[in-house]
Structures are given as structure tokens and as C-alpha cells.
Amino acid sequence: MELQREVLSAEILHPAHDFQPTPSRVEVRWDPLLGYSSRIVAGAHFLPPSDFDLAGLAEQTRDSCFFCAPRVEQVTPKFPPSLGADGRIRRGQALLFPNIQAYALYASVAVYSPELHYLRLEQFTPRLLGDALAAQVEFCRLATAHDPTAAWVSINANHMLPSGSSLFHPHLQGAVDPYPTTMQRLLAEVPPGRFEDYLETERRAGVRYLGRIGMAEWLASFAPVGFLELRALVPGVTSPEQLSAEQVAELAEGISRALQVYADLGYQSFNFVLCGAPSDRQGYMLNLRMVSRSNLQPLYRSDVAYFERLHWQAMVDTTPEELAERARPRFAA
């Protein structure tokens, strides 16, 4: 597979260089799976780290939080017996219940723990992530067994307000639906063999490849959809409900390392999507994508501008190769 990229270069008379001719560059890349384009303005510093008082905001929001113990038991919904869950699903400290707002036909929320209202990225242990992920996988298994028409499954995260999370308390969301999201449909239409080809190309190139944790192969995205995008591909698995307990733990280990990388680089907000396709799709690989989001601070710059929202094209400031270099020590066995 050939990875397509091109550096566009023009000239400006730069005020900082006495209006002398200075090159002005932007790199365009095309995603090897879907063909969308992405732009990289290396070194632009679009999203500065922040010293915003997150701990202070945690205290302000704690008393009214729906996901904190003991209130979570009274104010969150339960599943009906028909789903097969005993009202709610518990794994370790994680607690899963139906989403009170139906984002999908079957929609769930799992808090990592009702006791953990404030969780910094460096505090996401593989155990905390693994238990919440295992609860979501169990929910997905029950929902797909209950309703075979709901074959489109994803497990998702918004962490902190800039990521779209309306509640401060850290949580994961599951969705089981008869219809794919736009991205799920596009990924499911990728011709058989292209996922393997992409992975093989990146393994060989090495510069963006981070390594393997169990079955999951980790890399920095060649053409990112957002800031600091990291991806994991899980060969042999098509949809989240097929994940074994061991594979869940392995994915959680990788996510925990990726969040450490974000914390190392000064970020505290992220999204991820673990994107499944119907279990009979040949050649599809369960894939996880995660991006860091703007830090919370007054007069912050959104990481979503007209490029991302309306052109469907990211404009990021870190090259995937530089990201991989920063992330690699965290992924070293």
C-alpha cells in the first residue's frame, strides 16, 4: 500500500523576518482506509497546555453529580428483565446502567467508579479501564443477543467538557443500534484486505507503529481526524461484543498507556471510539481511535474549527511521526 502525502509550499513576506521572503508550508495526507484528507501544520501550537484548576471544578460539581455514590443508585435507570441484565451491570468498581438519553436504540453509560468523580488521565489504570470496558462489552453482548437487528455496536468516551461530556464524572458510553453512524458505515465498506494491508504497511514503515499489546496493534494515525490521534486495530475481531475477557484487558492496557501519553504532553480531555461492524463482515478489524481535545480554560481555542466541522478535514500541529516518537516509550514492553 502506498501512503499518500504531499507538502505544499508557498512564500510570504514575513513580519518577524523583516518582511523577507519566507516559505509557508502545509502538509496534506490521505487516509489509507477511507481516503479523506487531513492537514498538518507542524509546530503550530494550536492547543496550549493549561493550568486550569480541574480539581476546583471537581469540587464545585461533586455535590450535584448524578453519577456519584450513593445518588447514582437512586437517579440512574435500570434495564428491564427482558435484556437479561440484572437491572445494572457491575464489574470491579465499574457500574453500568441505561443512558437516560437514548443516543442509540440500546444505549448505556458505565462510570469507572461511583467513587471517582475526578480522574486525571495519568490515573486511568488498566484495571479501572478494563472493568468499565468489560461492563460495556457485557452490555453489548446482551443487547445484540436480545435484538439481532441491532448489529452496529460501539463503545465511546467523552472525557471532560471540551470533549462533549455534559457530566464531569468520568464515564464510557455504549451504543447498539440497527443503523451505522456515518463513520461506522464508511469503515464497514472498506474492501476486505485493506485493514491488513494498512497494518502491514505501518509495521514495515515503523515510524508510526507503536507495537502490539496482546492482539491489539497500536499506531499513530497516518492522516489524523483530530489532535494526537492514536489507533488500535484488533485482527480477528469484528465487533466489541466478541472481545474475550483477555482481549478487553489488553485493550484497556493500551488505552491506559495512550492516556499517559496525553497526560505527558499536557492534555486532560479526550474522545475515543471502539468501532464495530456487523459480525459477519469479512476482513473488518475492530478498531479504536482516540484523540486529545482542547484543555479546559477560559478563552480556550476549540480544537474543532471550520476545517473539522464543515470541511470534514482535521488541521493538526503534531506530525504522526513525532507523536509516535513521544508515545513509543509508553508502549515499550
- For 324, the grid coordinates are 509516535
Applying CB under 5 A, the span of 1-9, 65-73, 257-265, 286-294 interacting with Zn ion comes to 65-73
Q: Bridge-partner residues for 316, per DSSP?
A: 40
Q: Which three cell numbers stand for residue 276?
A: 464495530
- The residue range among 27-35, 93-101, 116-124, 254-262 that interacts with Zn ion, by the rule CB under 5 A, is 116-124
Closer residue to Zn ion (CB): 8 or 100: 100
Nearest CA among 127, 146, 148 for reference residue 138: 146
Q: Grid coordinates 446502567 are at which residue?
A: 97
CB 90 within 8 A of CB 96: yes
Part in contact with Zn ion (CB under 5 A); list of ranges 137-145, 168-176, 218-226, 242-250 = 168-176
Minimum CB–partner distance for residue 172 and Zn ion (Å): 14
Backbone angles phi, psi at 185, to 5 degrees: -65, -45
Residue of 47, 65, 95, 109 interacting with Zn ion (CB under 5 A): 65
Q: Are 32 and 222 in contact (CB under 8 A)?
A: yes
Measured from the CB of residue 63, what is the shortest distance to Zn ion in angstroms?
A: 9
Residue 169 interacts with Zn ion (CB under 5 A): yes or no:
yes
To Zn ion, the closest distance from the beta carbon of 249 in angstroms equals 25
> Considering the rule CB under 5 A, would residue 33 count as an interface residue with Zn ion?
no
State in angstroms the smallest separation of the CB of 116 from Zn ion. 8
Select the residue interacting with Zn ion from 32, 40, 47, 67 (CB under 5 A). 67
CA 28 to chain centre: 23
Q: Which stretch binds Zn ion (CB under 5 A): 38-46, 97-105, 114-122, 253-261?
A: 114-122
Decide if residue 109 touches Zn ion (CB under 5 A).
Answer: no
| Single-letter residue type at 210 | L
Residue among 40, 68, 216, 251 that touches Zn ion (CB under 5 A): 68
Q: Which is nearer to Zn ion, 20 or 60 (CB)?
A: 60
Task: Choose which of 29, 88, 91, 117 interacts with Zn ion (CB under 5 A).
Answer: 117
Taking residues 121 to 160 in sequence order and writing x for each that binds Zn ion by CB under 5 A, - otherwise, the string is ----------------------------------------
For the bound state, the minimum distance from the C-beta of residue 87 to Zn ion, rounded and expressed in Å, comes to 20
CA distance 238 to 184: 12
Q: Which residue carries 437479561 as its cell?
A: 84
> For Zn ion, which stretch binds (CB under 5 A), given 78-86, 169-177, 226-234, 267-275?
169-177
Q: Which is nearer to Zn ion, 165 or 292 (CB)?
A: 165
| Distance from the Cα of residue 55 to its chain's centroid | 23
Kindly tell me which of 116 and 219 has the beta carbon lying closer to Zn ion: 116
How far apart CA 1 and CA 136 sit, in angstroms, is 35
Q: Would you say how long the chain is, in residues? A: 333
CB 100 within 8 A of CB 77: yes
- Distance of alpha carbon 219 from alpha carbon 208, whole angstroms: 6
Rounded distance between C-alpha atoms, residue 52 and residue 224, angstroms: 27
Its sign, for the CA torsion 208, 38, 32, 231, is positive
CB 85, min distance to Zn ion, A: 22
Footprint of Zn ion (CB under 5 A): 65, 67-68, 117, 169
